[in-house]
Amino acid sequence: MAACALNQRLICFSNSYSRTVTNPCSTCLPPKANTQTAESCVSLGLSLFSKGRVKDALVQFETALDLDPTPREAQAALYNKACCHAYLREGKKAADCLRTALAEYNLKFGTILNDPDLASFRALPEFKELQEEARLGGEDIGYGFRRDLKLISEVQAPFRGVRRFFYIAFSAAAGISLLFTIPRLFRAIKGGGDAPDLWETAGNAAINLGGIIVLVALFLWDNKKEEEQLAQITRDETLSRLPLRLSTNRVVELVQLRDTVRPVILAGEKEIVSLAMQKAERFRTELLRRGVLLVPVIWGESRVPEVEKKGFGARQKAAVSLPSIGEDFEKRTQSVIAKSKLKAEIRFRAEVVSPAEWERWIRDQQKSEGVTPGEDVYIILRLDGRVRRSGKGMPDWLQIVNELPPMEAFLSKLER
């Protein structure tokens, strides 16, 4: 649980305790009977969560809140309780816990923004509401990243500031020279014994004026390039925070998969994307060697509510099992192949969480590349999470196999 990584700040208590908890996730033991404290319940809850026993962990965090916790213990219990609710897809309950921790126990909103265990919660409308409430309350809700964009831009274009200095300095020099040249130009036009040469003076004025125009145009062009660069950095940051659901049902953000996979985003109508996925099956082994992870995004999927039947009308899923020995060999072989593909599916594709956020990012990317928003496109990412290339329609999988080096290759190491 990523909340475990917060133990130094959330769970380590003051020196008034007889011991210091340095790693609650690994050292905590179940409390003895009748000796429960808020601290022990939080520690036990973290241990249970790390073992996948989310509902049991939730009980422990709730118990901690009933045992007269200190403010720091209450903050830890509420925060980790919210992580449990997020894992169980209970967005409203998670938001309520975080709201209380923010308002009453000094939880920093940046913690919510960066914890991978809350990735699924950040994709929900409840997070947007909480973010707006925090913004109105004066909290840093993540827009601080935009204050660092110019620093990142300077790193990528280190001489932009120097160029701008010369643009301004030379423009100022040309402007001052032009101020002195204009009166001389008027005198040359009027003529007289001591009047300067008309063509020479007009030439000097034209040179100064032309220099100012060119330098101002270069300055504006540099500004435009910086804005485009800042927009690209913003898109890269937004892309890194988009959530995915893995086959284990765990929700992660794309940034957590860096250096591990090369996501290939397939965006389009359902039939087109499904056909592209089927064609990818022919190259599954080679694509897996290259770390390819398929990420299908269906246009309009976010507007189609999922209807799940519950109660007596629910249709039970048939259990998947191998045929018995008495059945024919071909059928049994097909079933074995199906099960093998199912295991490989764990590494071959992922499901998008919050399709609307994914669609918004893809459409912004299409606009930046001059593609009509809503067209069928594919986007191949590098191991470091940046866009490698993109194109209209669906990809040529053979070309991708030939283009991408295997994960163990030297070129792949350079990509990280």
Chain centre distance of CA 244: 10
For the residues 16-43, what does the mean pLDDT come to?
A: 56
Q: What is the pLDDT of residues 108-140, one digit of tens each?
A: 888 888 787 787 788 788 888 888 887 776 665
Q: How far is CA 4 from CA 13, 49, 77, 196, in A?
A: 15, 9, 12, 82
Q: What is the pLDDT of residues 189-220, one digit of tens each?
A: 888 778 888 899 999 999 999 999 999 999 99
- Secondary structure class of 209 (helix, strand, coil): helix
Q: Write out the H or E segment, with its range, that includes residue 203.
A: helix 198-240
For the residues 42-46, what does the mean pLDDT come to?
A: 93
- Asked whether residue 319 carries a pLDDT value surpassing 50, the answer given is no
Place of tokens 């918004």: 360
Q: Of 112-121, 247-256, 267-276, 312-321, which gets the smallest average pLDDT?
A: 312-321
* pTM attached to this predicted model: 0.57
For the residues 258-271, what does the mean pLDDT come to?
A: 92
- Asked whether residue 84 carries a pLDDT value surpassing 70, the answer given is yes
Burial 104-128 (b: 16+ CB within 10 A, else e): ebebebebbbbbbbbbbbbbbebbe
Residues 6+ apart with CB under 8 A from 401: 283, 286, 287, 290
Q: pLDDT-based confidence at 324, cuts 50/70/90?
A: very low
Full DSSP string of 141-198: -STHHHHTHHHHHHHHSTTHHHHHHHHHHHHHHHHHHHHHHHHHHHHHHH--TTPPPH
AA letter at 34: N
Pair 13, 74: CB distance under 8 Å: no
Report d(CA 138, CA 135) in Å as an integer: 5
Report d(CA 261, CA 259) in Å as an integer: 6
Strand partners, 253: 243
Closest to 384 (Cα-Cα) out of 361, 411, 362:
411
Strand 243-245, strand 251-253: pairing:
antiparallel
- Residue 327 CB burial class (10 angstroms; 0-12, 13-18, ≥19): exposed
For the residues 299-305, what does the mean pLDDT come to?
A: 64
Residues 6+ apart with CB under 8 A from 281: none
Q: pLDDT-based confidence at 87, cuts 50/70/90?
A: confident
What is the pLDDT at residue 135? Answer: 75
What is the pLDDT at residue 307? Answer: 39
Place of tokens 């990420």: 295
Helices then strands, each counted (H, E), the chain: 19, 7
